[in-house]
Amino acid sequence: MIKLTILGCYAATPRTLTNPTAQLLEIKNHMFLIDCGEGTQVQLRKHKIKFSRINHIFISHLHGDHFFGLPGLVSTFRLLGRDKELHIHGPKGIKEAITMLLKLGDSWTNYNLYFHEITAKESVLVYEDDKVTVETIPLNHRVYTNGYLFKEKKGLRKLHVEAVEKYKIDKVYYQKIKSGKDITLDTRETISNSELTIDPDAPKSYAFCSDTAYKPDIVPIIKNTTALYHESTFLHTQEDLAVKTKHSTAKEAATIAKDAEVGTLVLGHYSTRYKSIELFKTEAQEVFANVHLAEDGKVFEF
C-alpha cells in the first residue's frame, strides 16, 4: 500500500486556510517529502508526522511556493538535535540557496546534509535501494522543473501455506522459498517453487507532476502508474492563462491520465480564483473517470 498525505495543494501564495505545495509519501516503510512550500513544517506537526522519519526530500523546482519552507525545516531539524543524515534532491541551485541562508545565519546543521542536484533534461534515476526507485519526470515550466516517479520493486513471493504444510517443510527454509528457490525434501524429491508459492502483490507506483504546461511526451514515463498527481491550476476556460504561465488545465491533466492509463488521477495546485475546486473534478471527469481532488490534510491510500 502507498499512503499519500497532502500537506498543501494550492498555487502561489499561502492563505489562512490553504497551503502551497507539499506532500508526504509513505512507500515500503519510507517517508518521502515531496516539495516544501511555506508552512510545511507546521502541517507536518498538525498531522503528527515524525520529523525523524524524513530522510529524503524531493524538490521539483525553485519557485517559492514549492521550496520556501525548506530552509526553515532544515533549521528545525538542527534545533531538534537531529543526528541522522538528510538528503535533498532538486534542481541545480538548491544547494546554493539553502547553504547561503545557513551561512548568513551561522547555523550550520549538526547532522550531515547532502544535496543531489539534477540537471538532466531526460528522465533519470535519482534514488534506489532494495525496495524503491525514484526517477525524474521532465516537465515544462518557466524554470527547470522535474516531477518524480516513485516505484516499488517487486517483492518476495508469498508462501502457499497449505502446500508448505502438506510437505512438512521446516520454517528455516521459508525465506529461501520466498526468494524463489525450489526445495529438495529428505526423500530427495524436489518440489518446485511454483507449487510452494504464489505471486507477490503487483508493485505500486506514484507519479508527481507539478508544475507544468501540458506535456504529452511524459506519457511513456508514467504509463500504467497506480496513481498520478497532476497540477490543474486552471479550468479550460482559462486555457490562455495556462499557456502563458506554463501551467495545465484540469482537462489537460485528465488527458494525460487517460493516455497513460493510470489507475487514479489526483488533481491539485488550484488557482484560488475559483469559487469551488469541484469545478476541476467535473471538468476532468469528462475525459477520465477516476478523478480525486487533493485537499490540504487529505490522505489517500492506493
Identify the pLDDT of residue 287. Answer: 98
Grid coordinates of 3: 499512503
Give the pLDDT confidence score for residue 85 in this predicted structure. Answer: 98
Supply the pLDDT for residue 29. 95
Q: Which pLDDT score, from 0 to 100, does residue 103 have?
A: 94
Helices (H), the chain: 40-46, 64-67, 70-79, 94-104, 161-166, 174-178, 193-196, 219-222, 239-245, 250-260, 278-284
Structural element, H or E, at residue 134: strand 132-138
Mean pLDDT, all residues of the chain: 94
* Mean of pLDDT values over 153-179: 81
Of 134, 138, 140, 102, nearest in space to 32 by CA:
134
Residues 109-113: what's their mean pLDDT? 96
Task: Name the catalytic one among 35, 65, 83, 240.
Answer: 65
Q: Do the annotations mark residue 30 as ligand-binding? A: no
What is the C-alpha to C-alpha distance for residues 233 and 256, in angstroms, rounded to an integer?
15
Interval 32-36 mean pLDDT: 98
Q: What is the pLDDT of residues 272-297, one digit of tens each?
A: 999 999 999 999 999 999 999 999 99
Write out pLDDT tens, residues 121-158. 999 999 999 999 999 999 999 999 999 999 999 887 78
- Respond yes or no: is residue 259 known to be catalytic: no
The answer to whether 61 is a known ligand-binding residue is yes
Q: What is the pLDDT of residue 226?
A: 98
Sheet of 264-268: strand order equals: 125-128, 132-138, 146-152, 205-209, 227-231, 264-268, 291-293
Q: What is the reported pLDDT for 189?
A: 83
DSSP state of 12: S
Q: What is the mean pLDDT of residues 172-180?
A: 81
Asked whether residue 65 is marked as a ligand-binding residue, the answer is yes
DSSP structural state of residue 122: S
State what percent of residues in the chain have pLDDT above 70. Answer: 100
- Taken in order of first residue, the domains within the chain and their CATH numbers are 3-155+201-301 (3.60.15.10), 158-198 (no CATH)
Centre a 10 Å sphere on the Cβ of residue 189 and count the other Cβ atoms it contains. 9
Q: How far apart are CA 226 and CA 32, in angstroms?
A: 17
Q: Residue 155: what pLDDT?
A: 80
